[in-house]
């Protein structure tokens, strides 16, 4: 880790059972857009709860995609523009896709072409709008409630973009673990594994620092310990609380480092093979960890706090953990040929997230063989 470093995160955080009830105070009388999912009875209930406790939104936008795309975001922005009173703040109630969509709305207003032009390099940041966000995650995984970027997909061109601006940090994050109690097993697992990837990826990272490392150690240790128990007892609020807290700490870790190689690799799998994000970014973690052992003493020291002194055995433990959850650590099990996977590794190392990785190409290829 560098001798000189910085850490900054401006998001106010309220955490705990029943925290959603504090939304009205955070709104402070401002008109708001409520952004959430559609066609699900649970979110119908949550919309009613927000309207009852925080007041009537200026507009409700509910057609949010699992992976926000150019076409879907055009629709979301158009719906946002139907508000009779211009919203002064966006309340994002949902998983990472909802919070990412909120960041796009905050930057584009009712016209998505603003953000599209910025992402494609045809316009500068001065063209973007600014609107505060209150993020209320209903899953424990993405950490988007404490980061300043959003993932956007051009599915037609099979490209992934990151909308990243300092002003896109949410104003406040309200993390109420009771909101995750209805999350099914598969989504509980994949989102928690996304958090595990955020934590570990912030360690083998050129931007790592002591504060991000402490957050990462706490997050990874909790997920490795609590996730198997939670998957066996999905209604256990104490375990839900531990995973929600771990997700938050992982978010705080990578909010300052961004992710690295495992996430860069995941985009290929998601775009070309439809692999769920949390699985796509976590299945390669043991191989990436093996490739980086011994490369950097500071990285090794942080990993030792999670896995113990024998890091090779720790990588085996990580692989056994994933396999025990039913997650294969072989790329070929996701429909990728060996040749395509090697090419994907080369491409991933050249990508923005891949360039955050402290390891070497040869070591990664050897570990992935």
Element (H, E) at 78: helix 70-80
Closest by CA to 345, choosing from 238, 293, 269, is 269
pLDDT given at position 84: 87
**Predicted confidence (pLDDT) at residue 39 exceeds the cutoff of 80:** no
- 238-249 pLDDT, tens digit per residue, is 999 999 999 999
pLDDT given at position 2: 76
Structural tokens at position 161: 């973009």
pLDDT given at position 122: 96
Name the percent of the chain lying above pLDDT 90. Answer: 92
Reduce the DSSP state of residue 330 to 3 states and report it.
coil
Cβ neighbours, 10 Å, residue 298: 15
Average the pLDDT over 357-367 and give the result. Answer: 95
pLDDT given at position 47: 96
**Predicted confidence (pLDDT) at residue 357 exceeds the cutoff of 90:** yes
Inter-residue contact 366 to 291 (CB < 8 Å): yes
pLDDT given at position 369: 75
Q: What does the alpha-carbon distance between residue 174 and residue 103 come to, in Å, rounded to a whole number? A: 16
CA-only gyration radius of the chain, Å:
20
Give the single-character DSSP code of 357: B
What domains are defined for the chain? 12-178 (3.40.50.1970), 184-368 (1.20.1090.10)
- 68-110 pLDDT, tens digit per residue, is 999 999 999 999 999 989 999 999 999 999 999 999 999 999 9
Residue ranges with strand state E in the chain: 12-15, 32-35, 59-61, 89-94, 133-137, 149-154, 159-164, 172-175
Structural tokens at position 61: 């936008």
- 185-226 pLDDT, tens digit per residue, is 999 999 999 999 999 999 999 999 999 999 999 999 999 999
């Amino acid at each position: 880790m560098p001798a000189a470093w910085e850490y900054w995160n401006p998001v106010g955080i309220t955490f705990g059972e029943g925290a959603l009830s504090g939304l009205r105070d955070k709104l402070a009388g401002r008109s708001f857009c409520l952004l959430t999912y559609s066609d699900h009875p649970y979110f119908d209930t949550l919309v009613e709860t927000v309207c009852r406790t925080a007041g009537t939104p200026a507009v409700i936008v509910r057609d949010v995609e699992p992976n926000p795309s150019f076409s879907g975001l055009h629709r979301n922005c158009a719906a946002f523009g139907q508000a009779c009173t211009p919203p002064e703040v966006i309340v994002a109630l949902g998983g990472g896709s909802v919070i990412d969509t909120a960041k796009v709305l905050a930057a584009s207003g009712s016209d998505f072409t603003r953000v599209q032009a910025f992402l494609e390099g045809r316009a500068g940041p001065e063209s973007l709008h600014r609107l505060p966000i209150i993020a209320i995650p209903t899953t424990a995984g993405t950490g988007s409630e404490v980061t300043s970027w959003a993932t956007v997909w051009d599915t037609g061109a099979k490209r992934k973009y990151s909308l990243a601006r300092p002003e896109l940090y949410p104003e406040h994050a309200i993390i109420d673990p009771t909101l995750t109690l209805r999350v099914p097993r598969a989504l509980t697992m994949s989102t928690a594994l996304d958090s595990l990837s955020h934590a570990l990826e912030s360690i083998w990272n050129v931007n790592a620092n002591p504060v991000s490392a402490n957050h990462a150690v706490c997050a990874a240790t909790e997920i490795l310990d609590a996730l198997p128990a939670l998957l066996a007892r999905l209604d256990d609020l104490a375990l839900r609380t531990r995973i929600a807290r771990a997700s938050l700490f992982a978010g705080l870790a990578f909010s300052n480092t961004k992710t690295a190689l495992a996430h860069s690799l995941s985009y290929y799998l998601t775009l070309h093979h439809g692999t769920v994000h949390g699985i796509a970014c976590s299945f390669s973690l043991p191989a990436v960890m093996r490739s980086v052992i011994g490369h950097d003493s500071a990285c090794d020291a942080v990993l030792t706090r999670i896995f113990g002194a024998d890091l090779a055995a720790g990588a085996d433990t990580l692989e056994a953990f994933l396999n025990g959850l039913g997650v294969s650590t072989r790329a070929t099990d996701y429909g990728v040929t060996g040749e395509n996977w090697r090419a994907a590794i080369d491409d991933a190392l050249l990508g923005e997230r891949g360039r955050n990785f402290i390891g070497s190409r040869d070591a990664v290829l050897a570990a992935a063989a």
